[in-house]
Amino acid sequence: MQIIVRPGADLRGEVSVPGDKSIAHRWLILAATARGRSYLRGLPPALDVISTASSLAAVSGRARPALEVWASKAGATVEGAGSTWNEHGLAEVSDLLEVEGEGRSGLRSSTADLDCGNSGTSMRLLAGILAAAPFRSVLTGDPSLRTRPMERVAAPLRSMGATVRTDDGHAPLFIEGGALRGVRYVMPVASAQVKGAVLFAGLAAEGTTTVVEPAPVRDHTERALEALGAPILREDGVSVQAFQHDGFQGAVPGDPSSAAFLVAAAAITGSSVGIIGVGLNPTRLRFLDVMRRMGVQTEVTVEREELGEPVGSIRVQGGTDILPVRVEPQEVALVIDEIPVLAAMAIHARGDSWFLHAGELRVKESDRLFGLAAGIRAMGGEAAEEGDDLVIAGGGLTGGEATSGGDHRMAMAFAVAALGATGEVTIGGAEAADVSFPGFTQTMQAAGAPMELEP
Ligand code: S3P
């Protein structure tokens, strides 16, 4: 599939974005390991989330049928088989998932390997839960996932007492779970996935488990656990002690990382849009600070809370010049998923923008530093990698052809950047957007972007 983007966008109105992938993974895991029934709404039919649901189904008892049905319906939606789109451009899937959990001790071994597809979050978070399950599990994934670093999660789980083997640091991950003991783990890399895995394991460990972050990262795991009554302490890191939670209910807020594409699109085209029902967790909104430094004015309104997560709207009023920006090393972890879209904006600034010490981008779904520099040049702009820094010369795009390299955020970032080009842009590998934002093109079209998806 490819996305064709033509110049001349004028975005208007209010849009919703699919549910937050990071939150959905965590709530699904918590629902499958709760004691009793949970009611989840707003799970996104995103391929990564489907990977978590189907892997959990394989190790669940009573929760299995519901998880399997949700995963297959959601999967059919992203493949476009009879899916429909509501007025906000969102795919309609049955919105309520009821999961009957039997507690963590209700998990059972799977004869098949657990396939995490393209999703590093599924693999790393599930490793944390399975480290305490007294059986053998094998976690695997697609070729991209099998190249990504897994020692970062295997090492702390081993130190807690689980047997975890990797294939030279990569998936497949072989886990022999068992009795765990609490540890104090100082993460060498700032990773919310690793923090989440260690905290999940800590729920079943003897004593206290503490995770110390070298730089702040998203805090969805501890927010959900706190809301469920777990003994979470935030002081010199995040600590947890043994705890078994009960069933719960929650509606997953819209994904702010997906909303970022709409905010950037409005800024680039000088339009105004509102994104409603979106997650407003402060650890996910650093991209708005960076955009503010680029001259973009946004208004954030918190309206309610869902399982410890603030939810509301983001409104953006475009029309001012985009300023060049420097993203500093210590803030990279807080904009890790938004660097591609911030780079898309930087292309349209007057002057050079710098993304410093962004080496973590090389071990995402693709090498995003390389892909961004190459893609920007392919669309008629100027950008270069300098070690692990990315420099983007402002001045806009003339048009051309770029490829996603199979990476969802690259496909969407290029499509958004292309809205400000003087000529037509074609983006190959556009189907990758379904990994986190099913219906991306339809949502952009509904907001007024001249984008088309072609086979
Ligand atoms: C995520 C954490 C981040 C992020 C990913 C989702 C999470 O990864 O890039 O998209 O849900 O915990 P790292 O923990 O590897 O930085």
The 3-state secondary structure of the chain, one letter per residue = CEEEECCCCCCCCEECCCECHHHHHHHHHHHHCCEEEEEEECCCCCHHHHHHHHHHHHCCCCCHHHHHHHHHHHHHHHCCCCCCECCCCCECCCCEEEEEEECHHHCCCCCCCEECCCCHHHHHHHHHHHCCCCCEEEEECCCCHHHCCCHHHHHHHHHCCCEEEEECCEEEEEEECCCEECCEEECCCCCHHHHHHHHHHHCCEECCEEEECCCCCCCHHHHHHHHCCCCCEECCCEEECCCCCECCEEECCECHHHHHHHHHHHHHHCCEEEEEEEECCHHHCHHHHHHHHCCCEEEEEEEEEECCEEEEEEEEECCCCCCCCEECHHHHHHHCCCHHHHHHHHCCCCCEEEECCCHHHHHCCCCHHHHHHHHHHHCCCEEEEECCEEEEECCCCCCEEEECCCCHHHHHHHHHHHCCCCCCEEEECHHHHHHCCCCHHHHHHHHCCCEEEEC
Candidate from 26, 48, 118, 193 with most ligand 1 atoms within 8 A of CB, to mutate:
193
Phi, psi dihedral angles at 87 (to 5 degrees): -65, -15
Q: Does residue 268 contact residue 30 with C-beta atoms inside 8 Å?
A: no
What's the gap in Å between 201 CA and the centre of ligand 1? 18
How high is the pLDDT of residue 76? Answer: 81
CA torsion sign, 294 to 412 to 407 to 127?
A: positive
pLDDT per residue of the chain (455 residues) written in tens, 0 to 9 = 999 999 888 999 999 999 999 999 999 999 999 999 999 999 999 999 999 999 999 999 999 999 999 999 888 887 764 556 676 767 666 689 999 999 999 999 999 999 999 999 999 999 999 999 999 999 999 999 999 999 999 999 999 999 999 999 999 999 999 999 999 999 999 999 999 999 999 999 999 999 999 999 999 999 999 999 999 999 989 999 999 999 999 999 999 999 999 999 999 999 999 999 999 999 999 999 999 999 999 999 999 999 999 999 999 998 889 999 999 999 999 999 999 999 999 999 999 999 999 999 999 999 999 999 999 999 999 999 999 999 999 999 999 999 999 999 999 999 999 999 999 999 999 999 999 999 999 999 999 999 999 99
What's the gap in Å between 306 CA and the centre of ligand 1? 20
How high is the pLDDT of residue 116? Answer: 98
How high is the pLDDT of residue 426? Answer: 98
Is the CB of 140 inside a 6 Å radius of any atom of ligand 1?
Answer: no
Is the CB of 336 inside a 6 Å radius of any atom of ligand 1?
Answer: yes
Q: Does residue 263 contact residue 342 with C-beta atoms inside 8 Å?
A: no
Q: Does residue 444 contact residue 90 with C-beta atoms inside 8 Å?
A: no
Q: Which atom of ligand 1 is nearest to the CA of 196?
A: 12
Cα distances (angstroms) measured from residue 33 to each of 64, 99, 200, 250, 286: 11, 10, 10, 15, 31
What's the gap in Å between 193 CA and the centre of ligand 1? 5
Query: Can you read off the two tokens belonging to residue 322?
Result: 């985009």
How high is the pLDDT of residue 294? Answer: 98
Is the CB of 121 inside a 6 Å radius of any atom of ligand 1?
Answer: yes
How high is the pLDDT of residue 93? Answer: 66
Is the CB of 337 inside a 6 Å radius of any atom of ligand 1?
Answer: yes
In the chain, the amino acid numbered 232 is I
How high is the pLDDT of residue 80? Answer: 64
- pTM higher than 0.75, yes or no? yes
Candidate from 119, 121, 200 with most ligand 1 atoms within 8 A of CB, to mutate:
121
With tokens 């918190």, the residue in question is 302
What's the gap in Å between 119 CA and the centre of ligand 1? 10
How high is the pLDDT of residue 95? Answer: 83
Angle at 288 between CA 356 and CA 233, to 5 degrees: 85
Separation of alpha carbons 203 and 231, rounded Å: 9
Is the CB of 132 inside a 6 Å radius of any atom of ligand 1?
Answer: no
Candidate from 21, 22, 23, 367 with most ligand 1 atoms within 8 A of CB, to mutate:
22
In the chain, the amino acid numbered 16 is S
Determine how many CB atoms are found less than 10 A away from the CB of residue 302: 10
Q: Does residue 227 contact residue 308 with C-beta atoms inside 8 Å?
A: yes
Query: Can you read off the two tokens belonging to residue 1?
Result: 């599939």
Angle, in degrees to the nearest 10, between helices 256-269 and 408-418: 20
How high is the pLDDT of residue 149? Answer: 98
How high is the pLDDT of residue 83? Answer: 59
Active site residues: 337
Supply the residue whose CA is at minimum distance from atom 10 of ligand 1: 337
Strand partners, 136: 176
How high is the pLDDT of residue 94? Answer: 65
Separation of alpha carbons 127 and 300, rounded Å: 35
